[in-house]
Amino acid sequence: MLEILFLLLPIAAGYGWYMGRRSLRQKSANQQKSLSRDYFTGLNFLLSNESDKAVDLFISMLDVDDETIDTHMSLGSLFRKRGEVDRSIRIHQNLIARPSLTAEQRDDAMMELGKDYVAAGIFDRAEEIFLQLVKQEQHSEEAEQQLISIYQVTKEWTKAIDITSRLPRKRQQQLSHDTAHFYCQLADEAENTEQAIKRYNSALKQDENCGRALLELAKLYLAEGDSKNCINMLNRLSKADSELFADALVTAKACYSDKDVTAYKEMLSQALTDGAGASIVVALAQQYTLDNESKVAESMLLNELYRHPTMRGFQYLMQLHIEQAEEGQAKQSLTQLEQLVEQQIKYRPNYRCNACGFPSHSLYWQCPSCKTWGSIKRIRGLDGE
């Protein structure tokens, strides 16, 4: 009898192992079915615009399987993109509160929560999070970019400059254009001319071709009566950003004050050579007309119109012909045509963002649409420069 029992022991052990495995597989399958059923229920809530119920269900599912963390991170991002930031915050806060998260998972959730706070306009909390993450190598670059974006919205230019100054040299060079504009923003807020000049020069140290700094320095030097430095800034502007020179015409004319007309015309001619557009052509033609050289003005206009036809150039050419025309029907018709062209020019925007295409009648240093610095330029072509 005892021998039979010994023979049955391996069979009993094998049967126990088989039943245990079967029970485990069945439990796992039941859990999987439950998980799948809950996910489909959650999706139904989402599709039925019952987001609160969906959030409650998905959060409760975290207790079922840690492998759903990535899914919940994506879900939170989806809510943020849909504008339901409060729900996104709730999901990411719940994730961070879980003690079972790894350090990497917690940092990922913190990054998403910081973006939630930015979307909600809670910039102080977002700043706290990104200041922590900036110390983590994996998230440092994204956290730096988020901090710079926050400081631009809150107009804390000194903090933005401080962030860029602590970046690796290669990254600093990539952001030098934006950093130059941060210094220009500080210059615009300066309490006196000396401080403003110092900050604009700091901008030029970041980006020697910063047209904004060169233009504003020319204006400041003109106001100070420093014609030499004013002319120097204008000449640098012509080389660095010829498209912006049209916005310096008033400053250039005032700097010479009709004392050295020849030098003024030489500056305009050089700006044309550097790539300036129709506004400079018209300004130069106007100066020739004032100097009683209408034929020279007309000849230059025609040459420029053949090379680069523009409505502005065409309008001024008509003005020259109107002045020379005799009274009568022809002059009246030409005058009406010139007025129609003038209205067309006024109707068309003068500027456009090279990054997103945002049109504008005024010059913005930062595009109101895509927030890119220095991308608003004068429109080129028939309706522009």
The DSSP-derived string for 119-171 is HHT-HHHHHHHHHHHTTSTTTHHHHHHHHHHHHHHTT-HHHHHHHHHTS-HHH
CATH number of the domain enclosing 192: 1.25.40.10
Question: Does 122 score more than 50 pLDDT?
Answer: yes
Q: Given pLDDT bands bounded at 50, 70 and 90, which one contains residue 315?
A: confident
Question: N- to C-terminal Cα distance for the chain?
Answer: 110
Angle in degrees, 0-180, between the axes of helices 176-188 and 193-206, rounded to the nearest 10: 180
Distance CA 108, CA 141 (A): 13
| 198 falls within a domain | yes
Identify the weakest region by mean pLDDT among 61-75, 183-197, 217-231, 346-360. 61-75
| 102 falls within a domain | no
Mean pLDDT, the chain, integer:
82
Identify the weakest region by mean pLDDT among 240-244, 278-282, 363-367, 379-383. 379-383
| pLDDT at residue 182, rounded to an integer | 97
CB-based contact 212:181 (threshold 8 Å): yes
| pLDDT at residue 15, rounded to an integer | 44
Angle in degrees, 0-180, between the axes of helices 123-133 and 103-120, rounded to the nearest 10: 150
Q: Given pLDDT bands bounded at 50, 70 and 90, which one contains residue 46?
A: low
Tokens 């934006």 correspond to what residue?
178
Question: Does 129 score more than 90 pLDDT?
Answer: yes
Distance CA 94, CA 68 (A): 13
Distance CA 151, CA 147 (A): 6
Number of domains observed in the structure of the chain: 1
Q: Given pLDDT bands bounded at 50, 70 and 90, which one contains residue 385?
A: confident
Helices assigned H by DSSP within the chain: 2-47, 51-60, 69-81, 85-96, 103-120, 123-133, 140-153, 157-165, 169-174, 176-188, 193-206, 211-223, 227-240, 249-256, 261-274, 278-290, 294-307, 311-324, 329-347
Question: Does 7 score more than 80 pLDDT?
Answer: no
User: Which of 266 and 336 is assigned the larger pLDDT?
Assistant: 266
| pLDDT at residue 50, rounded to an integer | 55
| 136 falls within a domain | no
* Interstrand relation of 359-360 and 376-378 (parallel, antiparallel or unpaired): unpaired
The domain in which residue 218 lies consists of: 174-263
Angle in degrees, 0-180, between the axes of helices 176-188 and 157-165, rounded to the nearest 10: 150
| 71 falls within a domain | no
| 257 falls within a domain | yes
In angstroms, what is the C-alpha Rg of the chain?
A: 34
Share of the chain above pLDDT 70, in %: 81
Question: Does 52 score more than 60 pLDDT?
Answer: no
Element at 353 (helix H, strand E): strand 351-353
The predicted model gives 178-198 an average pLDDT of 96
Identify the weakest region by mean pLDDT among 69-73, 85-89, 140-144, 192-196. 69-73
Question: Does 295 score more than 50 pLDDT?
Answer: yes
User: Which of 115 and 47 is assigned the larger pLDDT?
Assistant: 115
| 119 falls within a domain | no
Question: Does 237 score more than 80 pLDDT?
Answer: yes
| pLDDT at residue 37, rounded to an integer | 58
| pLDDT at residue 355, rounded to an integer | 92
| 258 falls within a domain | yes
Distance CA 294, CA 89 (A): 69
| 32 falls within a domain | no
Angle in degrees, 0-180, between the axes of helices 211-223 and 227-240, rounded to the nearest 10: 160
Question: Does 139 score more than 80 pLDDT?
Answer: yes
